[in-house]
Amino acid sequence: MKILVADDERNIRESLVKWLNASGFEAVGVENGLAAQRLLQEQPFSGVVSDLRMPGLDGLALLAWCRTEGPDLPFVMISAHGEIKDAVEAMHRGAKDYLVKPFDPVELEVRLRAALEAHRDGRLARALTPAPAADERPPSAAWAKIEALIAKAAPTNSLLLITGESGTGKEVLARRVHELSARKGGPFVAINVGGLPESLLESELFGYERGAFTGADKRKSGLFELAGEGTLFLDEIGELPLPLQVKLLRVLQERKIQRLGGTVPIPVESRLLVATNRDLAAEVKAGRFREDLFYRLNVVPVRLPPLRERTDDLEWLCRRLLAKLAPAMGRPAPGLTPGALKALAAYPFPGNVRELENLLERALIFLEGEVVTEADLGLPAPPAEKSALIRAGTLQELELRAIRDALLRWEGNQTRAAEELGITRRTLFTKIKDYGL
């Protein structure tokens, strides 16, 4: 399991990375929140250990970003004695645990493993939650169009390319397609291709023969085989490395796979569904995704609209989510006041349905009445207007902030920071001297 450690105190950061690596994890350390945000966008991680106080982007802001726009990961927060109130606030916002400095690294390891396990169990429980009954569907016109499309496509064996922002419910829709197909009696097998390194992903998809590599002491069937005559769902297909894109293209063309270390082609019987939050056409132009594979996948494109385009579904979604969340807390599902629904409709929901679920779960934890009010939701204040931001500071102050943030994001690497800012390294060096950074 790959763990990101974010702490601006070098001794603590390096000690934690060494300890976690010696304890069987793969740990990577960064010195501030902006650098952590950059790595979380570039690489798959299993969990985050983050300090509360860091330059550029603190631990709370990093946690909030992950809950709305970034990857859904368990957080263990580290705080100083005077920051316990903030650490408790982090727990309210979704962190799994926190420790107060100084702490025993053994305790961190124990709490981290517990956080990872709890997060995994929670995701499993959500994945096993039955789909809504066929006669109860979101009321919006946007969802009605999707229902009409999949009603025609589901009974076929055609490949569906499901696109949409993070948190819009792409896997939920894939399961719905499976349940409406003739394959519903077979397994539904799902994997996030962006969550595994290339070498492990290949063996997961195609399997391997005994002796194919060091440690392969027995034959293992891949997911294409395990899906049988059911459905195989590949989430975040845009993250598939180029060498595996070639292999997937061959599978789609020949309907056969070959285990690692094997020589016998194995017929593929399963139906393939794929999803991504990326613009694959743009990825093709950038050279990161094969054009021939894109056209193979883009047979039946289905776009899931973001929640801000489905405000007519908000009341229905809240009712469904509260009915699922409340029993786990030993309480009846509450209603929502008109003010709460109005506030939800005005909020842009960058994290879509996943963010809505997290928000309602947090409201339930602290709810004292029988209905959820606008105050119970604790929605963040709307962002300031761009013009107000410009009036708040001079152009020189804005430039200083942009340079400082870029340097933090790249942990002092001036070449990378200059590339991000669109200036030469010499110009950046001059501005660093001018601003006394």
**Residue 132: what pLDDT?**
46
Domain CATH code at residue 330: 1.10.8.60
Q: Are residues 298 and 164 in the same domain?
A: yes
**146-190 pLDDT, tens per residue?**
988 999 999 999 999 999 998 898 999 999 999 999 999 899 999
CATH number at residue 59: 3.40.50.2300
pLDDT tens digits along 34-85: 999 888 888 888 899 999 888 888 888 888 888 777 787 889 988 876 677 7
pLDDT at 393: 59
- In total, how many domains does the chain have? 4
Angle at which helix 198-206 crosses helix 242-254, to 10 degrees, equals 10
Name the band, by pLDDT with cuts 50, 70 and 90, for residue 382: low
DSSP string covering 359-371: HHHHHHHH--SSE
| C-beta of residue 47 within 8 angstroms of C-beta of residue 78 | no
Q: Within this chain, do residues 62 and 180 fall inside the same structural domain, yes or no?
A: no
Residue 290 clears pLDDT 90, i.e. is over it: yes
Whether residues 96 and 204 share a domain: the answer is: no
Q: What is the mean pLDDT of residues 280-292?
A: 93
Segments forming the whole domain that contains residue 349: 307-377
Determine the Cα–Cα distance for residues 291 and 298; give it in Å rounded to an integer. Answer: 11
| pTM, full prediction | 0.59
| Residue 113, in any domain of the structure | yes
253: number of CA atoms within 13 Å, CB side?
Answer: 9
Same domain, 367 and 296: no
d(CA 255, CA 266): 9
Pair 163, 47 in one domain = no
Same domain, yes or no, for 312 and 288?
Answer: no
Same domain, 296 and 325: no
Among 301, 238, 231, 234, which Cα is nearest to 268's?
231
The answer to whether residues 154 and 277 belong to one domain is yes
286 and 322 fall within a common domain:
no
Q: Is the dihedral of CA 30, 35, 40, 43 positive or negative?
A: negative
Residues 335 and 263 both lie in one domain: no
Which CATH number covers residue 287? 3.40.50.300
Each residue's pLDDT tens digit, 85-128: 777 777 777 788 888 888 888 888 888 988 888 777 665 544 44
